[in-house]
Amino acid sequence: MSYRTEEVAYVQPAQPAASAQAAQQQRSTAEYRALDAAHHIHPFSDMGALNRTGSRVIVKAQGVYLWDSDGNKVIDGMAGLWCVNVGYGRKELADAAYRQMMELPYYNTFFKTTHPPVIELSALLAELAPEPFNHFFYCNSGSEGNDTVLRIVHHYWATQGKHSKKFVISRKNGYHGSTIAGGTLGGMGYMHEQMPSKVENIVHIDQPYFFGEAQGNLTPEEFALARAQQLEAKILEIGADNVAAFIGEPFQGAGGVIFPASTYWPEIQRICRKYDILLVADEVIGGFGRTGEWFAHQYFGFEPDLITLAKGLTSGYIPMGAVGLHDRVAKAIIENGDFNHGLTYSGHPVAAAVAVANLKLLRDEKIVERVKTHTGPYFQKKLRDTLGNHPIIGEISGAGLVAGLQLAEDPKTRKRFANGGDVGTICRDFCFNGNLIMRATGDRMLLSPPLVINKLEIDEIVSKAKKAIDATAQQLGIS
Ligand SMILES: *Cc1c(COP(=O)(O)O)cnc(C)c1O
């Protein structure tokens, strides 16, 4: 397989034969559903409602396709949950896990020990990340990555003798995971409502969501600048001596693939530098090629002090998260005694071996470059050509292989549907029934396919998305 030139078509690995699938499948769909309903609590779900309709049982995947327990073939427009960057069924990753399990399935890194996979991974990340990122701390998820970020931020300021720097500023409708720290850092009201105890000293400013929140005649650039300047106002309100860090996703993923205008991040960076505040980029979705750059902060042109990594780090084949430290932060942590934080599985050898194999595929098959020069621009253009003037599409945002489609009652006046969440659900259900996985966040439809997707498969996603959006408009009586 090669991605080296566009002329050499990417040949998907052989698809599983129907009989092989049947042999693997132990139970009927009805049995699976009954047992799932009886014993399994799903994340972020209304279990009563779900158990009444039953879950779709996914049994197999290859390339950019999934198969369910009824034999339906579904194209995965979300790369799992924004994570399967190298696509499904890559033997290199399975082999790496198998080899490492036979060689050294587990050892810790707490007590003056280390092991080859975590060493190789750290050296490789240092090579792939921008120049000042040379040190990495490991955990098992993006949420734990952001817990780790908080621990590093507070320890950093303690080493600088600035003990009053405790506040962390984040954004409404940001997503930073679902541990207590991740959930508090995130700005999802529906999560906060179920979290009576939160991490202290975390406050939120408004998001740079132009379509939904810009008033009057502001241009996207003016609006983004104004939203960035809320950070300065918040710092002045709290007092710069009390503010430790600002955290944001370079583009908001779960919040709806919200891409700030080009004025946003340079202003955020200026403000963080001016008031001596650490700048944290949550790269859990943006990292490892999603925008066509290795990291999304490179796409937006700023330099964070800490980066949170997960998802694409292992392409979701095995759980792993990490935090990358800018040299100036790493130096302070390294030169100031014990850092009292760690997880049993920090730098887990099997996860690290899979991450190394995954990153080598992304690098050596030039998958990230391909997103930047070929498939990314093709995907963005195809979406805009096909849906840019659709009567219920108000905005298409994104870059590389990630996009947000804003559903709107009147695209010209940026009028949103009064019942936007319901409209999103209608559209999502049409996609699901049309064998396309496209996610809905309120009234925005989200796409984030595996980075190995080819142009034919992009055409399939966009045409299935159009069918679902047409059907949604028709159901609403709009044409
Ligand atoms: C998914 C996500 C997280 C949380 O990662 P988990 O592995 O689910 O804990 C954190 N930040 C961002 C931006 C994410 O998209």
Per-residue DSSP letter, 8? S
Atom of ligand 1 nearest to the CA of 249: 13
8, pLDDT greater than 50: no
Evaluate: CB of 249 within 6 angstroms of ligand 1. Answer: yes
Write down the mean pLDDT value for the chain.
Answer: 95
Tell me what pLDDT residue 479 has.
Answer: 75
Q: State if residue 142 touches ligand 1 by the CB under 6 angstroms criterion.
A: yes
CA distance linking residue 284 with residue 274, whole number of Å: 27
Sign of the C-alpha dihedral computed for residues 368, 373, 375 and 377 taken in this order = positive
Q: Residue 420 — very low, low, confident or very high, per pLDDT cuts 50/70/90?
A: confident
Note the pLDDT tens digit of each residue in 227-285. 999 999 999 999 999 999 999 999 999 999 999 999 999 999 999 999 999 999 999 99
pLDDT of residue 389 exceeding 90? yes
Domains of the chain, by residue range, sit at: 18-46+66-89+366-476, 92-364
User: Residue 146 Cα, ligand 1 centroid: separation in angstroms?
Assistant: 9
Asked if residues 396 and 405 have their Cβ atoms less than 8 Å apart, the reply is: yes
| Percent of all residues in the chain with a pLDDT value above 70, rounded to a whole number | 95
CATH domain 18-46+66-89+366-476 topology: Aspartate Aminotransferase, domain 1 (3.90.1150)
Report CA(283)–ligand 1 centroid distance (Å).
Answer: 9
Q: Which of 44, 143, 188, 207 to mutate to test the pocket of ligand 1 (most atoms within 8 A of CB)?
A: 143
Which tokens belong to 88? 């499904």
Number of H helices, E strands in the chain: 19, 15
Atom of ligand 1 nearest to the CA of 254: 15
- Using the mean position of ligand 1's atoms as its centre, give its distance from the Cα of residue 161 in Å: 31
Ligand 1 within 6 A of CB of 310: yes
For the domain with range 92-364, which CATH number is right: 3.30.1330.10, 3.30.43.10, 2.60.260.20, 3.40.640.10?
Answer: 3.40.640.10
| Greatest Cα-to-Cα distance within the chain, rounded to the nearest angstrom | 67
Q: How far is the CA of 143 from the centre of ligand 1 (A)?
A: 6
| 89 contacts 63 by C-beta, under 8 angstroms | yes
pLDDT digits (tens, 9 = 90+) for 292-349: 999 999 999 999 999 999 999 999 999 999 999 999 999 999 999 999 999 999 999 9
- The alpha carbon torsion through 293, 296, 300, 305 (nearest 10 deg) reads -120
Q: What is the DSSP letter of 240?
A: G
Give residue 478's Cα distance to chain centre: 33
Over residues 66-84, the mean pLDDT reads 97
Rg (CA), the chain: 22
Kindly give the distance from the C-alpha atom of residue 438 to the centroid of ligand 1, in angstroms, as a whole number.
Answer: 18
Q: Which residue has the higher pLDDT, 11 or 473?
A: 473
Nearest-atom index, ligand 1, CA of 178 = 9
| β pairing state of 202-205 and 278-282 | unpaired
Ligand 1 center to residue 177 CA distance, Å?
4
CB 443 within 8 A of CB 423: yes
DSSP string, 188-213: -HHHHTT-SS--SSEEEE----HHHH
Q: Are 68 and 33 in contact (CB under 8 A)?
A: no
SS3 266: helix
Q: Which atom of ligand 1 is nearest to the CA of 143?
A: 9
Q: Is 312 in the pocket of ligand 1 (CB under 6 A)?
A: no
Quote the ligand 1 centre to 284 CA distance (angstroms).
Answer: 6
**pLDDT over 50 at 5, yes or no:** no
| Residues 75 and 460 sit within 8 Å (Cβ to Cβ) | yes
**How many Å lie between the centroid of ligand 1 and the Cα of residue 188?**
13
Residue 284 in contact with ligand 1 by CB distance below 6 A: yes
Closest ligand 1 atom to 141 CA: 7
SS3 content of the chain, % helix, strand, coil (to 5): 45, 15, 40
